[in-house]
């Protein structure tokens, strides 16, 4: 069961509202995943975060302390990738259409999608409210950020069992261990050079293990899919 645990290990609290595209997803009142605002109407997240109903919180830093600034809505349309594979986590990407348009301000803003394939050894930033310890879990109230470095797929493939890392996946971590994404960071962003290059997907059971980088859905591979879904709003499940 390597594929259910995602937390930010070794990171630190983000500068409040420095990641204005960061979204929190809830199933009723339970926080389950992160997400990323890509325009006023659409959030990108991981397909394995799917639920029958998803509440969306935008503009949060301390997710337990709303302070009147958080925008709450829900996913009116839920559009997982039709080729998402629960056993391999290949194509672990999903779009959510918001029930009401995000109000863009200094706390809530979309991030541009990847316009190129990110190079190996690029410093990137992951963020989330996932557990900060592993394997016992400790969940922070404030958004955490961690700087991690992209690794080549061949390095990554050598770190995990055969054929588990596909070309639709991007790897990033610190090979010495100690810094990684892990539980509750799923669906959140990996930002490189101001663009969204990854959606947090999976990793090793004990997060931050040496030579076990985190695995992200490679956003650049899905640009056409994203644009197509946003244009046609199909295939999506409409939430009544």
Helix (H, G, I), strand (E, B) or coil at 173: strand
What is the distance between the alpha carbons of residues 22 and 89, in angstroms, rounded to a whole number? 22
First vs last Cα of the chain: how many Å apart?
A: 33
Same fold, 2-14+111-220 and 22-110+222-238: yes
Q: Which CATH class is domain 22-110+222-238?
A: mainly beta
Instruction: Sort 164 into a burial class: Cβ within 10 Å, 0-12 / 13-18 / 19+.
Output: middle
User: Which residue from 131, 142, 120, 186 is spatially nearest to 10, judged by alpha carbons?
Assistant: 131
Token pair recorded at residue 107: 């706390």
Specify the pLDDT at position 2. 34
What is the model's pLDDT at position 74? Answer: 98
- Please state, in angstroms and rounded to a whole number, the distance separating the CA atoms of residues 116 and 138: 36
Identified catalytic residue from 127, 131, 186, 201: 186
- Give the tokens for residue 8: 């930010």
Angle among Cα 113, 117, 120 to the nearest 5 degrees reads 125
Three-state SS at 222:
helix
Extents of the domains making up the chain: 2-14+111-220, 22-110+222-238
- Rounded CA-CA distance 66/44 in Å is 22
Q: Give 2-14+111-220's CATH code, choosing from 2.40.10.10, 3.90.1170.50, 3.40.50.20, 3.40.440.10.
A: 2.40.10.10
Instruction: Say whether 120 is catalytic.
Output: no
Tens of pLDDT along the chain (240 residues)? Answer: 333 334 466 678 899 999 999 999 999 988 899 999 999 999 999 999 999 999 999 999 998 876 668 999 999 999 999 999 999 999 999 999 999 999 999 999 999 999 999 999 999 999 998 766 667 667 778 999 988 899 999 988 888 888 899 999 999 987 676 655 554 488 999 999 999 999 999 876 556 666 678 899 999 999 999 999 999 998 999 997
Q: Is 154 a catalytic residue?
A: no
Distances (CA, A) of 2 to 69, 114, 185, 225: 36, 27, 15, 27
Choose the catalytic residue: 92, 180, 185, 204. Answer: 92
Buried b or exposed e, range 145-161, using 16+ CB within 10 angstroms: bbebbbbebebbbebbe
Told to judge if 48 belongs to the known catalytic residues of this protein, a careful annotator would answer yes
């Amino acid at each position: 069961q390597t594929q259910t645990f995602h937390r930010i290990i070794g990171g630190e609290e983000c500068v409040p509202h420095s990641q204005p595209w960061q979204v929190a997803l809830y199933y009723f009142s339970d926080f389950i995943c992160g997400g990323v605002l890509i325009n006023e109407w659409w959030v990108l997240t991981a397909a394995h975060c799917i639920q029958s109903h998803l509440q969306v919180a935008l503009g949060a830093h301390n997710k337990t302390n709303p302070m009147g600034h958080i925008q709450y809505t829900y996913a009116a349309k839920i559009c997982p990738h039709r080729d998402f594979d629960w056993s391999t986590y290949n194509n672990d990407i999903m779009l959510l259409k918001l029930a009401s348009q995000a109000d863009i301000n200094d706390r809530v803003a979309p991030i541009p999608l990847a316009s190129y394939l990110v190079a190996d050894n690029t410093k990137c930033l992951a963020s989330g409210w996932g557990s900060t310890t592993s394997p016992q879990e400790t969940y922070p109230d404030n958004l955490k950020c961690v700087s991690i470095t992209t690794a080549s797929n061949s390095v990554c493939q050598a770190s995990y069992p055969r054929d588990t890392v596909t070309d639709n996946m991007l790897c990033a971590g610190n090979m010495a261990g100690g810094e990684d994404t892990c539980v509750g960071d799923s669906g959140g962003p990996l930002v490189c050079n101001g663009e969204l290059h990854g959606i947090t997907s999976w990793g090793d059971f004990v997060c931050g293990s040496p030579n076990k980088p985190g695995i992200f859905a490679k956003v650049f591979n899905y640009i056409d899919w994203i644009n197509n879904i946003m244009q046609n709003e199909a295939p999506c499940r409409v939430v009544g």
